[in-house]
Amino acid sequence: MFELIPYEKFRDTPSVRFFDITIPNSNARDLVSHDGPATSPNNSPEGYWQFYLHPNQEDNLLALTGGRTFYLVNFSWAQPFHIVRLEANGAILRIPPGTFHRSVSDPDGSLVLNQAVRTASATVASEFRVYNSHDIPRLMKATSEASPPPILHGVDRSKLRAA
């Protein structure tokens, strides 16, 4: 299951924020900046949702600025489809390997730091493949309106777009 991980805030004032955001076993870092309401990965040219899935990488995602909404699908979970909201300086979202995920930024964009944990077999090709939900019937079904609705975590349902 995914987790929302708290961390120690030494100081959190309007003018100074000083946090310990260490993920102890992280061995890779990536930074994803969305300038405006971007979607990662992009929808397909036909408009279908696309997802990342890392076979050999755990993500640990912290929004540094702005807000971003993550769509998670993992068929090993009792309810496979969850939508999780990340706000700047909020909890760190841990996404386990094998989870389809995509994210949509707020209108003003967002900056997200990923303190990843990669195994020795992780490569750029294996970890950053894009999966089109149109090509994966089970994924398409899980995210369609005909299926049970996603479980929301900090998300206002009225702001979500239909699949």
**Under the criterion CB under 5 A, does residue 106 sit at the interface with Fe ion?**
no
Number of residues that bind Fe ion (CB under 5 A): 2
| Least Å from the CB of residue 7 to Fe ion | 19
Identity of the residue, 49 or 52, whose beta carbon is nearer to Fe ion in the bound complex: 52
Identity of the residue, 18 or 33, whose beta carbon is nearer to Fe ion in the bound complex: 33
**Under the criterion CB under 5 A, does residue 59 sit at the interface with Fe ion?**
yes
How many CA atoms does the CB half-sphere of 144 hold within 13 Å?
A: 10
Identity of the residue, 59 or 106, whose beta carbon is nearer to Fe ion in the bound complex: 59
* DSSP class per residue in 48-113: --EEE--SSEEEEEEEEEEEEEEEEE-TTSSS-EEEEEEETTSPEEEE-TT-EEEEEEEEEEEEEE
Stretch that binds Fe ion, among 20-28, 46-54, 86-94, 151-159 (CB under 5 A): 46-54
**Alpha-carbon span 154 to 89, nearest angstrom:** 14
**Under the criterion CB under 5 A, does residue 58 sit at the interface with Fe ion?**
no
| Least Å from the CB of residue 150 to Fe ion | 18
**Alpha-carbon span 34 to 127, nearest angstrom:** 20
Which residues of this protein are in contact with Fe ion, per CB under 5 A?
52, 59
